[in-house]
Structure formats: C-alpha cells, structure tokens
Structure 1
Amino acid sequence: MKKDLSKIISFVLIALGLISIGSVFIWAPVCGDLIPLASGKMVPMKCHYTGQAALLLSILLIVSAVESLVKKSLRPWTVMAIGAMLFSLSFDSVIGICMKESMSCHSTALWIKVVGALSVLCGLVDLFSKTKQVKN
C-alpha cells in the first residue's frame, strides 16, 4: 500500500509540474510587455522572471517525481521539491508581479500558488509515510 501511495503521489507531482508549466505558457501566460528604463533600454517586466523561475521549479518538481518513481529508497528529492515549491508560494513577494490587478500575471501567480501548495502537501504526505515505514 505504501508503494502504491508513493507512485500515486509521484504521478500527481508530475501532473502538477505540467500544470504549472502550462499555466505559465498556455492558459495563464505572464505578461509579454517590455518596460523602458531611464537609459532607453527595454527590459521584460518582473512577471517574466517570475514565469522563468516557476518554469525551473516545475522542471525540478517533475525530475524529482520521476526520480522517485525510478528509485525505491527514501528520497532527498522529496525534501528538495517541498522546499522549491514553498519558494513558489512566495513568488509575488520575492520576485514580483505587475502592480495592476487587471494584468494576466495575477492569474498566473494564482495557478503557481495552488500548484505549489498541492505539491508541498503531496511531498509532506510522501515524506511522512516513508518516515513511518522506516520506523516500522
């Protein structure tokens, strides 16, 4: 039963990683606008970098879930995935998103936060189920 739970959680984490990537690029993409600097250069808005960070953390989540499907031992990847997705919960305060509520990056941030929260929950369930299994 514990192995089945671990496999189910791994598949859920893969799906959550794909949902996060899809939200950044497909159904809730971050803003694509550029802002001018005082020097005249045009740079992407903060939400562009939030999307890039979400992409990297989602790839990390998918890799950790695939690794947990392949190996059968206690996984340091689970702890790393929990930490990475905890960071994704604070994107709007660490990196930032647009100030205007009407900008599309606010829906992207919501998707990223939901995926992050669900990933942390799955990671904690998997971690504590493995801890109990080791103690027994």
Structure 2
Amino acid sequence: MTSILVLNGPNLNLLGQRQPKVYGKTTLPEIEAACRQHGEALGYDVACQQSNHEGALIDAIHAAKGTHAGIILNAGAYTHTSIALMDAIASVELPAIELHLSNVHARESFRHVSYISKVAIGVICGFGPHGYILALDALKAHLDKDA
C-alpha cells in the first residue's frame, strides 16, 4: 500500500489546548487518527509525525524520499520563516501540500508570507481539522493523475 507522510510542526502538539478559538478543540492525536482512517479508505497508509524542531522536520522530509508518495505539511510558524524547509521539500522531489488550520490570509500580515507554498503543489487553509482530510483527497487526486 502506498504511504503518505502527514508532518506537523511547532506547537501543533498543543492542539485542543492552545488558542482553541483560533485552532479549535480537536487534538493532534484525534487529527492523526482521522488521517489514518481516511487514508485507509483511500487506499493509503498514513504516517504521522510532529516536531517542534526545524531540523527534525527537515530530517523527516529527507527520510520521506523513497518511503512515501507525498507529504502533507503543516509547518506552523516555520511556514513563514524557513527557507531550509522549502529547500528540503524541493530536494526530495515529492508532491507536498501546505496545510494550515486557520485562514492565515485573514490573520496578521507576517502570516501572509509562505516559503513552503513556493514548492508545494497546493495550499489548504482555514478549514480546521477537516483541512487534513481535504489535503489527503487532493494528494490522492494528484497522485492518481500522475499514475
């Protein structure tokens, strides 16, 4: 079975507790379970990882090459600052979708800049936890198109 990596960045381990008015009450383990369940229905294994450390996220992206068919990345604040994450995604040559729970374009202006979107096949934001399901569907459509 084909595998997809769902990779979450800094502070996402605090989902359900951190600013629930912005990010909702759903926890990261609940999101990961929903991703695995939906992935299975689509015919994919879904591997989930989270780190608060930029280097660990880069290592996970590097390790994805040859292991996963694509990446769904919620890089959190690193989206707006990390050229290194952008370079890592470009280097592995896997389709990647940038994901955000909140609508970053309706928030502070610094959140309007994304290094990740420059190398992503698409961006999903503002749909809360359901965005992960949308991202899995979008990645499947992309992979099916290239099959």
Using structure 2 for the length normalisation, give the TM-score. 0.28
Higher relative contact order (CA 8 A, sep 6+): 1
Using structure 1 for the length normalisation, give the TM-score. 0.29
Name the larger-Rg structure: 1
Judging by fraction of residues, say which structure has more helix. Answer: 1
